[in-house]
Amino acid sequence: DTEVTQTPKHLVMGMTNKKSLKCEQHMGHRAMYWYKQKAKKPPELMFVYSYEKLSINESVPSRFSPECPNSSLLNLHLHALQPEDSALYLCASSQDFVLRRSSYNEQFFGPGTRLTVL
Amino acid sequence: SQQGEEDPQALSIQEGENATMNCSYKTSINNLQWYRQNSGRGLVHLILIRSNEREKHSGRLRVTLDTSKKSSSLLITASRAADTASYFCATVLNTGFQKLVFGTGTRLLVSP
C-alpha cells in the first residue's frame, strides 16, 4: 500500500466552527507532514512530525493544531479560522525525516482537503 | 520563503513535442526533486537528483543539475495530453533533514 489518504475531500466551515482534517498512511513511514497550498502557488510546509513527535512548526497560527495519535495517523484541528485560510491542505509522509544516504527521500502526498472558510 | 524559481510559469505545446522546465535555487542543496500535480490535487514524485549527480533519466523524463549555476532542468520528451499538469521543483537543503522547499511551479498544457 503506497497510498496516503485524506478526509474529507472538501470542507466548508464558518469562522466559529471547529473541524478536523485527517490523514492516514500504512507504509510504515515515520515522518508525516502538513502543507498548505493556495491557488496557483507552491505548497508551503506547516508542520512535520517525526516518530510521532512534532519536529517543525513553521510559525503557524495557533488556530491550526496538529496531532499525531500514532505512527499512521495525522490530524489537523481547525478552530476560529479566517477566510484567508481557505486553501488546499496536503498531507505527506516519508520513510524518515532525517536525511540518510541509504534511504529514499521521496515524500508521498495525499490528494488533499480543499477547505473553504466562510 | 520559497527557494526555487521556475520558468516558464506556463508552457503550452502540442502532443509529441518536448517540454523543458527550468528551476533556479539560492542556497546549496543535498538533493533536488521534481513533483507533478494534476488539477490542484496531490503531488506525485517524479525524480530525485543528488547534489553530486549531473543528469538522471526516468522513462521520458530527463533531469539535469548544475550546482555551479544553482539550476536544474526537467525535460519531458514526446509529450502526451496526460502530461498536462503543474510541475514543481523542490530542494532539500544540507540541514540533515528532509524538508522540501518548493519552487514556483510551471503549468504545462499539452494539446492533442
Q: How many CB pairs under 8 A join A and B?
A: 66
A52 part of contact set with chain B, CB < 8 Å: no
Residue B12 and residue B88: Cα distance in Å, rounded? 16
Where does the pLDDT of residue A46 fall: very low under 50, low under 70, confident under 90, or very high at 90 and above? very high
Are A107 and B42 inside 8 Å of each other by CB? no
| Whether residue B2 has pLDDT greater than 60 | no
| Whether residue B1 has pLDDT greater than 60 | no
The pLDDT value recorded for residue A106 is 86
Dihedral-angle region of residue A52 (phi above 0 means left; psi in -120 to 50 means alpha; beta otherwise): left
The pLDDT value recorded for residue A104 is 64
Place of cell 522540501: B100
Place of cell 512535520: A48
| HSE (side-chain half, CA atoms, 13 Å) at A21 | 30
| Whether residue B110 has pLDDT greater than 90 | yes
Amino acid identity of residue A57, one-letter, is N
| Whether residue B14 has pLDDT greater than 80 | yes
The pLDDT value recorded for residue A2 is 67
What does the pLDDT average to over A19-27? 96
- The answer to whether A35 touches A46, Cβ cutoff 8 Å, is yes
DSSP assignment string, A46-100: EEEEETTEEEEE-S--TTEEEEEEETTEEEEEEES--GGG-EEEEEEEES-SB--
Quote the minimal CA–CA distance from A112 to chain B in Å: 6
Residue A4 and residue A118: Cα distance in Å, rounded? 28
Where does the pLDDT of residue B4 fall: very low under 50, low under 70, confident under 90, or very high at 90 and above? confident
CA neighbor of A35 nearest in space, from A4, A71, A72: A4
- The answer to whether B52 touches B60, Cβ cutoff 8 Å, is no
The pLDDT value recorded for residue A98 is 83
What does the pLDDT average to over A76-92? 96
The pLDDT value recorded for residue B41 is 84
The pLDDT value recorded for residue B5 is 86
Q: Where are the alpha helices (DSSP H) in chain A?
A: none
Are A112 and B40 inside 8 Å of each other by CB? yes
The pLDDT value recorded for residue A110 is 96
- Predicted confidence (pLDDT) per residue in B85-103, tens digit: 999 999 988 788 888 999 9
What does the pLDDT average to over B18-37? 94
Contact residues on chain A for B103, CB-CB shorter than 8 A? 42
Q: How far apart are the first and last CA of chain B?
A: 37
Contact residues on chain A for B92, CB-CB shorter than 8 A? 99, 105
Are A98 and B97 inside 8 Å of each other by CB? yes
- Predicted confidence (pLDDT) per residue in A70-80, tens digit: 999 999 999 99
In percent, the amount of chain A with pLDDT more than 70 equals 95
- Predicted confidence (pLDDT) per residue in B44-75, tens digit: 999 999 999 999 999 999 999 999 999 999 99
| Whether residue A105 has pLDDT greater than 80 | no
CB atoms within 10 A of CB B86: 19
| Whether residue A65 has pLDDT greater than 80 | yes
Residue A33 and residue B1: Cα distance in Å, rounded? 17
- The answer to whether A25 touches A72, Cβ cutoff 8 Å, is yes
